Structure 1
């Protein structure tokens, strides 16, 4: 396995990043003119894992991981115009936040199971 980017790691990192974006939308719901942001998770995950391959670090200055730390944020389409120009729809944001929270928990569980399985495999090879 080595230094390769694992699908579970990329999914968990992106879920966490999306949680931050959604929380920012909720926090700025009463900010006049604030435009809600989000990103397409499936596209971000595909981009983050596109070049998943084992990496060999031959120089101390090489980048350790190809996982992209940034995603392309889109402005959320405004479904109901607000008088103050804000595009935050609290019902939509709460639903997206809740869904992402559940999916983050699932991604965390998968990652933990993978690490436990890998650790057990390594321990069985050692002795």
Structure 2
């Protein structure tokens, strides 16, 4: 099983994170008319960097020691800064959200296709083709 995990690399984790981002963007679109709703997004790069650094993170040896760096929220959610403010306090901009959703969906499909090709190659190697 370790061989399979090594061959897929970080792409499995990236696929899960991209799926979560699609959910967050869909929530933004669904709440476009909700007063005082704040649009959110996932900082994909920061979450992946945090997961990579978790393996090499420095641990405090005493309780009085400080943690290194700023902690990222576990889910990586950030509030989006709007280009145009709304009168009701809603920060969802449909054109931005739809564009981000389309781009995120294409990224998800590309990662999924990459994983399918990688698994297909592994399957061929195991069959001896």
What TM-score does the superposition give when structure 1 sets the normalisation length? 0.76
Write the distance in 2 (CA, Å) between the matches of 1:85 and 1:46. 32
Going from structure 1 to structure 2, the CA distance change for 1:43 and 1:18 (only over 3 Å counts) comes to: same
User: Can you give the 5+ residue segments of structure 2 that lack an aligned partner in the other structure?
Assistant: 56-73
User: Number of paired residues?
Assistant: 108
Write the distance in 2 (CA, Å) between the matches of 1:2 and 1:107. 17
User: Can you give the 5+ residue segments of structure 1 that lack an aligned partner in the other structure?
Assistant: 53-69
**Aligned residues: CA RMSD:** 2.0
Superposition misfits of 4+ residues, deviation over 4 angstroms: 2-5, 49-52
Going from structure 1 to structure 2, the CA distance change for 1:48 and 1:113 (only over 3 Å counts) comes to: farther
Residue from 72, 80, 83 that aligns with 1:79: 83
What TM-score does the superposition give when structure 2 sets the normalisation length? 0.75
Write the distance in 2 (CA, Å) between the matches of 1:21 and 1:10. 17
| Partner deviation per Cα, 1:88-112 (whole Å, 9 max, x = no partner) | 0111100100000111110000010
* Contact kept in structure 1, 2:19 and 2:108, CA below 8 Å: yes
